[in-house]
Structure 1
Amino acid sequence: MNPYDKAARYAAKQLDAEGFLRWLLGHALDHWRWTGWLDAQTLPFPGEPDRRSDTIAAFERTAGDGPPAAVVVEFQARPQGDMLERLAEYVLRLRRERPAQLQPRVPYEVVGALLNLTGAPQTETWTMTPPDFGEAGLQFRVRVRTLREESATATLADIEQGRIARCILPWVPLMRGGDQAEVVEEWKRLAAAEADPKHRGDYGGLAKVFAELAGRSEVWRTGLEGWNVEVSQVVLEWQAQARVEGEARGRAEGVAQEMARGQAAALGLQRAQLLRLLEAHLKAPLPADLVALVQRQSDLMVLDRMFDQALEATTLADVRAAFGLV
């Protein structure tokens, strides 16, 4: 599990679980009471056989008028196209296998919630409804929150007014506007009001981890410089891992960019050489469709083969036939 997933789970469970769930699930908690986290260590997450979900929140109806519910909370550090499908599978398996509970004969009503740490908004619904089978099919809907769509400024204002719990502070670097120096300053003011020094330290440590994920580490490192608070050792380890991953990602992106530039230059050179060869070989202007064919070719091996074919051709008709132009 990468440091961002670890940090997300820690932030959800160890700071103020009920405050986090109220923010994530909204008005659902007007009718449900959180009772704790379920143990599902025997049930691996689909596609990740070595991972067990440890963020399954259990709820009971405040009115006592229905069975208990469970919410599988998943965090997505990077977009994954099959996440909703895997989450749907896990929800059904969790309901069927019935994790430990006070009333084992009463199954949980299980739903899913997904917190997108990065990436664009995604659909809340996964469906599998092939055409022409009437209404047969499957549909699964989850609660989705995408942090890049959340306003950092509005979130801080809500925290100050008490509408959102202070435990949401670590997530602010991932929000829209979370790269602004004035946001960091307001964040520090609100975080300083936290009475628990351990939580206060974790707010800063986790914010740095998430800032690394968002590519905003510089503004947060600078803004929190000299903000002397005690940070738990485990959060410090995640910070170090996040920095290493961020540096590696930056190096990989740099290498990829250099490779792409080199590939583009090689393609341009090969195309130009092929066109010059054809003009010299045929001693006539080249037809537009032939030039277009060469210019849109993006495979160096194919261009190399075309070069050999051009050398062997004696007429324009030979070239067109060899290149597949009729």
Structure 2
Amino acid sequence: MTYRAAVLGASGYTGAELVRLIATHPEIEIAGLSADRKAGMAMGQVFPHLRHLDLPDLVKIEDLSFEGVDLVFCALPHATSQAVIAELPDDVRVVDLSADFRLRDPEAYERWYGKPHSAPELQKEAVYGLTEFYRDEIKGARLVAGTGCNAATGQYALVPLIREAVIGLDDIIIDLKTGVSGAGRSLKEGLLHAELSEGAHAYSAGGTHRHLGEFDQEFSRIAGREVRVQFTPHLIPANRGILGTIYVSGDAAAVHGALSAAYAGEEFVVVLPFGELPSTRHVRGSNYCHLGVVDDRIPGRATVVVALDNLTKGSSGQALQNANVMLGCEEGTGLRLAPVFP
């Protein structure tokens, strides 16, 4: 069976990544592509690396027909998806890549994103889209909310450790280095090559980054008590990739054992041999996440390092993985592209 999908916001990085991945999918075809400023253009004009594909032209959302569309990927800016998804036909399933439906509590959404949620009824039916942890709920969902890329990175390292109670909950430190594509494709002075290259800097420090809302929600739910982590992201002069270095209290061998057991049956999450550490260069352009654990000279401390591609496993690859589960396709279909190296 062939499913028809539309990609809203196809002129952004995550939209283009979705198109790249879906192009290799034998059961999903792209029935429509939307854009705002790029409406009226061919996808190959906007992204020449996709010019070999036979794709519909970009149109505005209001000009897109959803007749016969089975699933919509919504790769729109934050605070835009709520109104758009509310107007979609009820029989169309949706994977949203924005932050609009990630937080279950509307008050938490308003606190982290600075405005009231405009579609609280839709929020009630949204399923959090980290496939490895929520695939049973995703299977029957109409609306799946993709995670933040930083949030996914931290959760792959920490969810099994919190679930198995092998680490302390009050002294978790998450230090992330992230590539610039995570900031989106809009023009920003601070992201110009001359401003960004040859340096790195921390941002949203001191507990202000919005993905902390997801950490609070998910870690506290699993622990059955409030868990608040210390989190600082850093922007590095790389296009893709997130490298997370996570400091925890606990026995390093037990930490490695818990991660190995949790992901033993998972295709896209790879736990490296004890003492070996991952690199973003080994997951670039892929749907794979690599995890490593090392002991520390301080007794009772361990370091977990996690690497993934923010545009693929952290966003668009995760979205296609969720879509496969929703549509009943084999979960890894279209996602087994090998990482790009060097």
TM-score band w.r.t. shorter chain: under 0.3
Structure number with larger C-alpha Rg: 1
Structure with the higher strand share, 1 or 2 = 2
Normalising by structure 1, we get a TM-score of: 0.25
Q: TM-score, normalised by structure 2?
A: 0.24
Select the structure that is richer in helix.
1
